[in-house]
Structure 1
Amino acid sequence: MTGESAAVLAAGVVLWRTAPAGVEIALIHRPRYDDWSLPKGKLKRGEQFADAAVRETREETGLGCDLGAVLPATRYLVDGRPKEVRYWAARAHAGDFVANTEVDAMVWLPPTAAHHRLTHDRDRPLITALLLTLA
């Protein structure tokens, strides 16, 4: 496979926490794309998917996390190249969000609100998959 057609590999999480009314899910806003999405990013050379998921979560949200169940991967094209993103359920822990050039906002929302706020349809089934793992 040539470098041009090789899939872009990325990892991400559905970041969650408990709240008085139940579970809340973190969504991030990326000004470059003007979208609401889940924390994710490309693997660095030689990096494992799980390590990338934890690193990207810290970089984009400022929060540490504990990876839980594996969630479905998403596959789609970006500028004609295939992209594969592997996801985990991830319980949030210590840290604080600080806006930066890559991510300018983060919100915690109940699952239904998070489902509606997500920009990309491909991300919505991940909310359902998370809830099934927590049931």
Structure 2
Amino acid sequence: MSTPHDTPDDSPDGGPDRTAQTADPTTVRAAGCVLWRRSPFGGELELCLVHRPKYDDWSHPKGKLKRGEDWLACALREVAEETGYAARPGPYLHAVHYVAQDRPKEVRYWAAEAGAGRFVPNDEVDRLLWLPPAAARERLTQPRDGALVDALLTALHLT
């Protein structure tokens, strides 16, 4: 069962040790962002979701940490790689823990406002959508990712 939650070392910057050093080498470490913007057509809040053809799923942009990489640096790199947009990081949201391919996985997420950029489809991400929060929650493939929508709204003081 997967539940999003904060772990004791989850401070706003991702914890006291911001790299992926851990006593459990089997845990896959990843980071991502709930990327948001104000719609160019009316100013309403929109969230960015990406479609990964390998898994045929809709999710928030995220990816695995590189050796020695900072959690937040990974999250921002993955946003740029998967969406083509620069991201201005905001508050740390929380970590999500689950099992993927028989290995424990930890993904830490930040709120991030979209900056300049343009999406170009690639092998890893073939589609991108900007959706209002309720529609984004419905489109997300994994129910656990919906809690991140709520965490973003709370962080932006919209709930």
Q: Scaled by the length of structure 2, what TM-score is found? A: 0.81
3-state SS of 1:16 partner? strand
Runs of 4+, deviation exceeding 4 Å: none
Inter-partner Cα distance in structure 2 for 1:95 and 1:63: 4
Inter-partner Cα distance in structure 1 for 2:134 and 2:116: 25
Count of aligned residue pairs for this structure pair: 133
Note the alpha carbon deviations across 1:18-48, whole angstroms, 9 max, x for none: 1225200000000000000000000000100
Does residue 9 in structure 1 map to residue 24 in structure 2?
A: no
More strand by share: 1
Q: 1:90 to 1:2 in 2, by over 3 A?
A: closer
Inter-partner Cα distance in structure 2 for 1:133 and 1:83: 24
Match of 2:100 among 64, 67, 78: 78
Inter-partner Cα distance in structure 1 for 2:27 and 2:132: 33
TM-superposed deviation, 1:80:
1.3
3-state SS of 1:98 partner? coil
Unpaired stretches in structure 2, ≥5 consecutive residues = 1-22
Unpaired stretches in structure 1, ≥5 consecutive residues = none
Q: Scaled by the length of structure 1, what TM-score is found? A: 0.95
Does residue 58 in structure 1 map to residue 109 in structure 2?
A: no
More helix by share: 1
Aligned to 2:60: 38
